Amino acid sequence: MADNGMSFEHAGRSLIIAVIAALIGLAFAWGAGSGSVVFSGVPAVFLCALVAFAVNWLAFIPAALFQSDRFYDTTGALTYLTVIALACAAAIEANGSLDPRRVVVAGMVALWTIRLGSFLFTRIHAAGGTDVRFEKIKVNPPRFLVAWTLQACWVIFTASAALVIITAPERAPLDAFFWAGAALWVVGFAFEVVADDQKRRFKADPVNKGRFITSGLWAWSQHPNYFGEITLWTGILVIALPMLSGWSWLVVFSPVFVTLLLTKVSGINLLDAIARKRWGDEPAYQAYRARTPVLFPRLPRG
């Protein structure tokens, strides 16, 4: 009975965490999107948040039944595409068409989503359709629900600046903020794509089995793909800056959230722990860590 009581207690905690996370995500979307156009009687950004949770909770049902995480990342990509499409539909209904700023930003998010989503889909299926992040929690439905709820929050926080741009009631010209932000986005996207491809090629070569990559962009940074992701979302925020007022300034949190996620939650901290366990005693690995920045790139010395 004690074990059952403890399991019920753990399940209750997980459900409370899921509810709190959902409320935070919805409150954030309500504030950040308070100036957005109204779609179906609801502020468009808030409606996008509701849809983000709906998509992930619906996907959670078969995932929990089959104890599978195979389509977790794919659902994340689908969520991004869905909320961007919904934001565009709201803008078209309110303004009759999409101006170039909205089109470009929507295209940026869609391109990033399709590229990363297909990359992660290919990687997870090459690994047998399992992800080490979910080994323990996918057999526990309440804990698994938290993961799907947090994925919806991830989409809301990360895409918030883009959603505010697309659903703004006023049209905005292609000003200096747009071009500066677009340049940042291009640099970030290029870093992420090239770094991921370099690592994919490195791991595909049997000669490199069990080794760590130190060539290409990985000689500039230990995590160049993460630098790229942080940079591209910062670029979208820069594009949004002249359109922000009042509570919409909450979207400044977008690149901050991405940075915290990739450095403190499920990115660098976890990968570095794994790497130190595998290669921490090797002089070559110690030398690589000593000469290579953790995140922000620097040209190799010598």
Mean pLDDT (whole number) for 261-281: 88
pLDDT, tens digit (0-9, with 9 covering 90-100), for 135-156:
778 888 999 999 999 999 999 9
Count of all residues that appear for the chain in the document: 302
Domain boundaries, the chain: 1-172, 174-302
Identify which of 87, 27, 89, 97 has the alpha carbon closest to the alpha carbon of residue 236: 87
**pLDDT at residue 123 in the model:** 75
Amino acid at 234: T
Query: Which 3 state secondary structure label does DSSP give 155?
Result: helix
**pLDDT at residue 289 in the model:** 94
Confidence of residue 2 (pLDDT cuts 50, 70, 90): very low
Confidence of residue 300 (pLDDT cuts 50, 70, 90): confident
The CA dihedral of 95, 99, 101, 107, to the nearest 10 degrees, is 100
Mean pLDDT lowest for which of 80-94, 194-208, 262-276?
Answer: 262-276
Identify which of 195, 51, 186 has the alpha carbon closest to the alpha carbon of residue 112: 186
Q: How many CB atoms sit inside 10 A of residue 204's CB?
A: 9
pLDDT reading at 5 higher than 60: no
Give, in order, the Cα–Cα distances in Å from 111 to each of 107, 197, 241. 6, 16, 22
**pLDDT at residue 136 in the model:** 77
Give, in order, the Cα–Cα distances in Å from 71 to each of 113, 116, 223. 15, 14, 25
Query: 122 is written with which tokens?
Result: 């290919």
pLDDT reading at 293 higher than 90: yes
pLDDT reading at 114 higher than 70: yes
**pLDDT at residue 135 in the model:** 74
**pLDDT at residue 192 in the model:** 96
Please say whether the beta carbons of 235 and 178 come within 8 A: no
> Which residue in the block uniquely carries the two structure tokens 């292609």?
174
As to burial, measured by CB atoms within 10 angstroms (0-12 exposed, 13-18 middle, 19+ buried), residue 245 is exposed
Q: Tell me what the pLDDT averaged over the chain comes to.
A: 91
How many C-alpha atoms does 95 have within 13 Å on its Cβ side? 20
**pLDDT at residue 129 in the model:** 55
Backbone angles phi, psi at 173, to 5 degrees: -75, 165
Query: What's the predicted TM-score (pTM) here?
Result: 0.91
pLDDT, tens digit (0-9, with 9 covering 90-100), for 190-244:
999 999 999 999 999 999 998 999 999 999 999 999 999 999 999 999 999 999 9
Confidence of residue 71 (pLDDT cuts 50, 70, 90): confident
